[in-house]
Structure formats: structure tokens, C-alpha cells
Structure 1
């Protein structure tokens, strides 16, 4: 047997050979890693039984935004996402650089959400699977530990990629959709009798804005632009298909959870809501509970690893352009962006240790609503150059822009401390960026052909 050939199949080195199955797996894995395991409880508390509608609305707006990402990526033939798009159309170094800072910190929030969920599920696994009751104070320790592990693995050049990871994603799709089907089929009651708008008619609108971060993983495919075979055909098909699969999973699983979870159970198991819902399915019970816990730990840890890999290289790209300190553009002899990895890993560990799941989820949603609103705006502005149908970026812009004040008003009414915390983070970023730009001028690469 050729061991080098086997290693190539398992590790799948990035040599431009990513086909459609790999692109779909990467997209679904990036989105569903934390969105259903981590954010479901937060979404259900806000939207109640209409949570499935929240995920559907967020998914439709994500499809519209993906259209803008694809059009702009192919137009500029670059892969730094929203930062690149803004850099090409604005003369202001402040706006371009601030977009880059928001993107970097947004991904930190996403990884913190995954790490938080991993820690919560790990403690639950210790109790339910092993029979050891660990104190809740260990949750931040476990979260920090898993981030540190993947920073170390990335620094050493080891990635969780290849055939095994792709198979794990497709297996996760089958498991989650099967759990949803079983939970709906074995519901002891009439699903049509459920009070769908138990939290009010506007609750799914607020809910979609809060959990918008659940779909952010599709953007990671943009950063693999140069490594996808037949990219102009494979990337659009793969991205749209991945988003549609994620929508199907989110809607089906969240609807099942509303049937299986009573309000008091949701409060008691907010951080592990999916596992609690599955445990109520008669056919599965404890076995289903354990299956979801182990799947959640695998998915959230893979989400940390994949996001850390892509986002650290995004930070390297932005630093290379001069929008953030050039220290973070350093790569070692193996091509690993060492300082970007350490920076993002350190910030992620701090967020995961100090924040609550609601704080982290809502911060991530605001960050990516901003980034996606900017992307839709740029594509609408350049519709003639990109060959875009203006309706799609216009609808995407309306959806993402309207969601931002909805989140902020919701926080003002329900948790003003989180609102101040999020505002403080974005204000701090602006101050850091303003001071850095003043000391180290950055000239955006404005497209002269406009």
C-alpha cells in the first residue's frame, strides 16, 4: 500500500483539489457546528415555539447575502471577504480597517460560542456518560483548554481535515435530521395544536436577529477560494447547497425541540437544549441524550479548529494589507501565521471564560450582521460591475440592516448590561483602529474603474 497516497486521502492537503463534496461538508460543518448545539437554547428562550421560523428567516437572508459574497469574490478574485470588498470601494482607511477589525473579533465571538458549548456539554457528558458530577466552575477551564489544544495543533501544522472529517459532517447531517424526524413522529400530542406564537407575533423576528451568527460558517468557504477545483462552478453550488442543508437541519431540529421541551426544562438546560429535547423522545431516552452530547463535543471542537484555521489566515491577510498591526502578518517557515493564531486563540479563550452564552451569541450576531450588511451594500453599489440582480443584495441589505436595531432594542429592554458590553467592545475596537491608523497610515486599494 502507498502510505503517502493514503495520507493524502486522509489529510487532503490544500492543493486546489477541493471538490463539491468537500465544499459542502466544509460549509455545513462551519454552520452547524455551534448554531444548533450552542445557540438553540438562546433562540428558544426568545422566540418560543416560533424558533423554527427564526431559523428560516435567518437562512433566507443568509442565502441572499451569499449571493453578494459570491458575486464580489468572483469580481475581485480575492478571498478576504468583507474586508476586501470594502477596501475596493471606499476611500476612507478608517472604514476599511474597521471592517477588518470587526471581522476578526466576530470570528473570535464565534469560536468562543463553540468553546462555551464544548465546555457545557463536556460537564454534562461527565455526569450523564461517566457518572462524575463536576462543579460548574470547571466549565470555563474546559473551554479554555479546548481552545488551547487547537491553537497548539494549528501551530504545529496539524489539521482535522480530509476524508474522515468530511464523513463526520455527512454523518452529523443524517443523525440530526433523523433525530428531528423521530422527535416529531413520537410527539405525544397534536403538533398542530401547539401555540406557535406563544412569545408574541414579533418574537421570531427578534429571534432571527439574535441567532444570525448560527449561519456565519458559509463565509469560511470564501477563504478557500484559491484551493477549490473549478471554483466558478463548484463554489456557488457548494455554498448554496450547504446553506440549504443547514436551513433544513435548523428548522427541523428546532421544531422538534419545541415539541419535546417544556419551558421549565428549557430554563434548566439552556446550554444543552438539544440534548434535553432528544432525551424526551421515548424511543431514544438516555441513549439519545448521550449521542447528542458526544456529537456536540465533536462538532463544536471541529468548529473551533476550522474557524481558527480560516480566521487566523484572514487576520494574516488583513495585517498584510496594513489594516491591523503587521506583526500579525508573520508566517513561520511552514507558512503558519503564528501571531495571528496566538492572538485569536487568546481572545477566544478570554471570551469563552468570562462571557455568558447569551452575551457571546448576541455579540457574534451583531458582528456578522454588520459585516453582511456591508457586503450587501457593496454588491448593490457595484451591481453593474458584478453582473448582479439588484433585488438580491437589496433584500439582503434590508434584512441585515433591520436586524441590528432589533437586537439592540431587545437588549435595551431585556439585558442592558449585555448591550453596554457589546457597545463597549465595538467602541474599543474603533478607538484602537483610529489610534493605529493615525500612527501607521493604511491606504485602501480603491478600484479606480468605478
Structure 2
């Protein structure tokens, strides 16, 4: 293995960092608001569907010997339709922008929740300002060319995961011993409803970070096998951590989940360390971990998305105005566009709306890749069961997510629908522009002739 190539440990770190880096801090409050104590079940369901989608990606990557890559190259190889490939790429870009906006929103929430930080300055709320500044800061960092090495990523992810594991295990022990006076509730009564499935659909964005490995295969040693193992290790670990954190937070901070759900983790951490006289310290550690995790998630996702967009520019799947594909590193205009759209989403959107929009994007793409793998099931190296589960799961998640929004968040529903329709319309107009131009040119002479006064 070349010294600069990433091995299994670094690949697992990248995948886990992409999921845990900001996912749990951003989605926990949204998901618990839907299904309460059964939140851990929602995370398990979403994890199963994500793992089946991961199998589909790995299977396609294995059999696509000449064009290993991600969603865009898979569509190009197995469907041969550049329009569909481009639309898959654009949908992923929208999903990544939604993810970064989600992380930025959570970054702002935890900043405002720190002791001594006001909710606003005058009539201006501080949370949107902090979110925009966070995005701007990481855009600037990427413009300078800063990036973490594989070894540094190992340390960063180990620190983030360590804090959450300590929180989860410590909280479960604290509650189980009876010292807290609280009880662990697993929400089995919710299993008879569709609440956990709806919550799984909403939380799906928290299980997408592993996919970024497929766009950086040149830097990974033995990429097909290494990525396969990294996906199958990282997703279960993420499910376990999400589940523990959810159970503990629901047990120790039920009031905070009602009044301020996005930062309830800090209240739960304070409750765990309070018997040792470290209540404020525990809350501060979790809050700082949240800032560090969501910040690094913005940075890592922006870096990976920028390179993904540059690849699309090289394939003529994005307008040249977005950036120069010949530029060294990530094109400046590409970073500015991605950062600008992300900042706008984070400033004016609600966390539920941003999370739902991003989940829709990844549900559609992951479901499409599961369908592609299922379509190639006659190949010896593809087992049809996981792709079928991934396809059925995503096919169920999408309508349930829209139904939930329509029933409980009517305004968010309309926003998500309008943004989705506009996104698809823009994609079709761009990729079918030549056909539309030819159609207009063929109709225009006839129209002019019919309207001519000299006929």
C-alpha cells in the first residue's frame, strides 16, 4: 500500500465522521418529536435500509470494473443515459447542500445554547447569523486549501465518537442504577404505529456519510474491498451510537426535548455529571463536542462536495459558470456557490424542513441505486435480497415522509414540494436543453409563417 493511500481504519473514520460528525446533533430533536421513546427503532430501520443501499453501492462498484465511482458513474454505466446520470448528480448536490445547512443550523443552535451567549442582538436573532458565519468560515478555509489528512481524521473521529459513547454508556449506567430517578423507556407501544417508520424516513440524512468514500477511490488502497468493509462497519456503529444517545436523552431530558429539542443532549449530559458536581461541565463538554462535530461535518462535506461538483463539471454535467474544471483543487466559484446556497438554507429554513429536504434527496438516490443493483441481480456477484430491501424501504419512506409533513407541518410540506419540483424542472431544462432548442427552432419558422401578414 502506498504511504499516501488510506487503509480500512481511515476509511471507517471517514464514513463514521460523515455520519456521526453532525447527524445526531442535528436530527435527534426532530426524530424524537415524531416517535418519542421509539426513536432508537427509527434509527435501526433507517440503518437497515442504508446498509442495504450500501450493499447495492458495493455490488455495483464490484461489477463495474471499468468505471468505478459513485451514483453518477453507475447510472452512466448501467443505464447509459447522461440525463439521468446528471439528474442523479444534481440530486446528490442538493442533498449535500441540505446536509451542510442542517449541520450549520445545529452549530448555531448549540452556540446560542452556551452559557452567556444571547439569543439575539437587538431585534436580530443570533442563530441564523452564527449559522451563516460558520458556513462562510469553512468556505474560506477550503479556499485556502486546508484539509485533514487520514491520520488526523482518525483522531478527530475517535474524539467525537468517544464523547458520544461515554455519554451513552454513562447515561445508561446512571439510569439503570436508579440514581437518577428516571427510567429507560424503549417505546414498544409505538411499534404498532407507523411513527418509527416515518421517523426513520426523516432521519435518513443522518446515514449518508459513507457514500462519499465512493468518490475518492483513487486515494484508497484496494478500494473495492476496503470500502465494502468500511460501509459494513460504519453503519452498524452509527446505529448503535445513535440508539444509545436517543435512549439516554429521552430518559434524562424529557422536558428539554419538549422545550428545546435541538440542544437537549446538553441537558442530558448535565444530568449525568450533576451527582459529581460537574453538571455544567458535562453540558459544556457535549455542547463543545456538538460545535466541533457539526463544524467539522460542514468542512468535510463542503470539501467532498466541491470535488464531486468538479467531477461533474469535467463531465459537462454542470454549467461552466459554476466553476472551472481545469482549476487546481476545488474551483473558487464552485465553493462560493455551494456556500452561498447552504448559507441561505441555514438562515431562512427550519431544521425540520432542511432535514426533510435532504432526506428526500438521499432516499431518491439510494433507492435508485438499490433498483440498479436489483436490475443487475443475474450477475453472480449480486445477491438480490439486500437491493430489494433497500428499494422497498426507500419506496416506503418517501410517501410516508411527505404524508407526515402534509399532516403535521403543512408549511414545510409545501416548501419541500416546491423546492423539489423546481429542482427537477431545472435539471430537466438543463440536460434536455439541446432537444428543447431543436424543438423551438423547428416550430419557430412555422409560427412566423402563420403570423406573417404577407401570406
Per the normalisation by structure 2, the TM-score is 0.88
> Take 2:422 and 2:285, find their aligned partners in 1: how far apart are those partners?
41
Contact 1:48-1:199 within 8 A present in 2 as well: no
Q: Give, in angstroms, the shift of residue 246 of structure 1.
A: 0.8
- Unmatched 5+ residue regions in structure 1? 1-13, 443-450
Counterparts in 2 of 1:29-428, with a 5 A limit?
29-77=17-65, 78=67, 80-90=69-79, 92-125=81-114, 128=115, 131-135=116-120, 137-187=125-175, 188-189=180-181, 191=183, 196-197=188-189, 201-262=193-254, 264-281=255-272, 282-283=274-275, 284-328=278-322, 330-331=324-325, 333-385=327-379, 387-428=381-422
> Take 1:441 and 1:323, find their aligned partners in 2: how far apart are those partners?
16
> Take 2:265 and 2:68, find their aligned partners in 1: how far apart are those partners?
34
> Take 1:71 and 1:341, find their aligned partners in 2: how far apart are those partners?
32
1:381-406 deviation digits (Å, cap 9, x = unpaired):
11234721001100111111110001
1:31-63 deviation digits (Å, cap 9, x = unpaired):
011211111000100010000111111111111
> Take 1:319 and 1:332, find their aligned partners in 2: how far apart are those partners?
9
Contact 1:359-1:418 within 8 A present in 2 as well: yes
Contact 1:16-1:229 within 8 A present in 2 as well: no
Q: Give, in angstroms, the shift of residue 236 of structure 1.
A: 1.3
Corresponding residue SS for 1:120: helix
> Take 2:340 and 2:407, find their aligned partners in 1: how far apart are those partners?
32
1:225-280 deviation digits (Å, cap 9, x = unpaired):
11101223221112211112111111111111111122x32122222121122222
Residues 324 and 87 (structure 1), Cα distance of their counterparts in 2 relative to 1, 3 Å cut? same
How many residue pairs are counted as aligned between the two chains?
Answer: 424
Residues 15 and 245 (structure 1), Cα distance of their counterparts in 2 relative to 1, 3 Å cut? same
Per the normalisation by structure 1, the TM-score is 0.89
> Take 2:63 and 2:371, find their aligned partners in 1: how far apart are those partners?
15
Contact 1:211-1:361 within 8 A present in 2 as well: yes
Residues 441 and 155 (structure 1), Cα distance of their counterparts in 2 relative to 1, 3 Å cut? farther
Contact 1:49-1:195 within 8 A present in 2 as well: yes
Residues 191 and 120 (structure 1), Cα distance of their counterparts in 2 relative to 1, 3 Å cut? same
Deviates more, 1:152-161 or 1:197-206: 197-206
Contact 1:160-1:302 within 8 A present in 2 as well: no
Contact 1:47-1:199 within 8 A present in 2 as well: no
Deviates more, 1:404-413 or 1:275-284: 275-284
> Take 1:386 and 1:258, find their aligned partners in 2: how far apart are those partners?
45
- Unmatched 5+ residue regions in structure 2? 437-455
Deviates more, 1:209-218 or 1:327-336: 327-336
Contact 1:316-1:328 within 8 A present in 2 as well: no
Residues 200 and 292 (structure 1), Cα distance of their counterparts in 2 relative to 1, 3 Å cut? farther
> Take 2:306 and 2:68, find their aligned partners in 1: how far apart are those partners?
13
> Take 1:149 and 1:362, find their aligned partners in 2: how far apart are those partners?
25
> Take 2:154 and 2:185, find their aligned partners in 1: how far apart are those partners?
39
Quick check: which has more Rg, 1 or 2? 2
Residues 199 and 382 (structure 1), Cα distance of their counterparts in 2 relative to 1, 3 Å cut? closer
Residues 395 and 422 (structure 1), Cα distance of their counterparts in 2 relative to 1, 3 Å cut? same
Contact 2:313-2:325 within 8 A present in 1 as well: no
Q: Give, in angstroms, the shift of residue 191 of structure 1.
A: 3.8
Q: Give, in angstroms, the shift of residue 318 of structure 1.
A: 2.0
